[in-house]
Amino acid sequence: MHQAGYDPKLQSVLRNASMKDKTVIITTLNDAWAEPGSIFDLFLESFHLGNQTKMFLNHLVVITWDQKAHARCLALHKHCYQVETKGDNFTGEAFFMTADYLHMMWRRIEFLGTVLDMGYNFVFTDTDIMWLRDPFKLFYKDADFQIACDFFNGNTYDLNNSPNGGFNYVKSNKRTISFYKYWFNSRNAYPKLHDQDVLNKIKKNSFISNMKLKIRFLSTSYFGGFCQHAKDFNKVSTMHANCCVGLDNKVNDLKILLEDWKKYVALPENEKNQSHPSWSVSCRTSFGRAKQRKQKNKGWLRRRALAVTV
């Protein structure tokens, strides 16, 4: 039976991928990240290399932004759904904070709100997140909305944490449906900000506290990334290529990360607890370089503008 107003194809994909409790895992994909040997391949590989993570591929729905990404998804995976983007072009690498990037991020929030509206809980995961252990064992049972952090301050309730929209677990209920609508509509108040920055702007609003939305922030000790590593290989659940600019840089360091993980997995059990391996990734330096370039360019533009006006 079809719910009124929802695409029957989407209903079918969600139903086929759903866990018994109506939970799905969702990621989004465009052509640039779907190329052979790129991010999507590494993402899928992580489920095979992770500790008891392969089964989650049965519940993973890949939302594709363009025809090429959709064809590539269908060649590798069974649950793919192409979003209608009405003339938008999301095929190339969407550079951070460009108009294409912002539009794609907000289209994603809108889509996830629809999934909640349809009665499905979801774990949203960026494709540049490697799944190394079962995250469900680490989620808080009483939370409506729980989200990973770029930087975690040690207090899971503290709204001053720096959330990262690339990984969250959301239960479908009246509070979360209302919250996602409010988040999406808040883009109009902050037209130059992306979803994550807008979340930081609205997370302390009385509208959210009044709706009694239960928010929890996930520790980087388990849900780590390149901004703040999950240092203990015996605890890590996911690792995100955040604080890393450029597709080539991400691909390079995610390959290194999976090699680090393979070496750890190959250790005898007694050595796993005694050894203290560390991640060999260095992409965070690209984040600093990109910031420096941006500041240099701003300075050059200012000097040029002064030269023109003088």
Residue 286 is predicted with a pLDDT of 57
Q: What angle do CA 133, 134, 137 make, to 5 degrees?
A: 130
Q: Is the pLDDT of residue 96 over 50?
A: no
Q: Is the pLDDT of residue 100 over 50?
A: yes
pLDDT tens for residues 225-245? Answer: 999 999 999 999 999 999 998
CA-closest candidate to residue 260, choices 237, 273, 278: 278
Q: Is the pLDDT of residue 95 over 60?
A: no
- The residue whose two tokens read 């409506």 is 144
Mean predicted lDDT score pLDDT of the chain: 88
pLDDT band at 282 (very low <50, low <70, confident <90, very high): confident
- Contact assessment for residue 69 and residue 278, using Cβ atoms and an 8 Å cutoff: no
For residue 73, what are the CA distances in angstroms to 17, 28, 69? 15, 10, 6
CA-closest candidate to residue 36, choices 28, 44, 46, 26: 44
For residue 270, what are the CA distances in angstroms to 50, 266, 275? 19, 12, 9
Superfamily of domain 6-284: Spore Coat Polysaccharide Biosynthesis Protein SpsA; Chain A (3.90.550.10)
Q: Is the pLDDT of residue 71 over 70?
A: yes
pLDDT tens for residues 159-207? Answer: 999 999 999 999 999 999 999 999 999 988 998 887 888 999 999 999 9
Residue 1 is predicted with a pLDDT of 38
Domain boundaries, the chain: 6-284
Q: Is the pLDDT of residue 9 over 90?
A: yes
Query: According to the 3-state scheme, what is the secondary structure of 250-279?
Result: HHHHHHHHHHHHHHHHHCCHHHHHHCCCCC
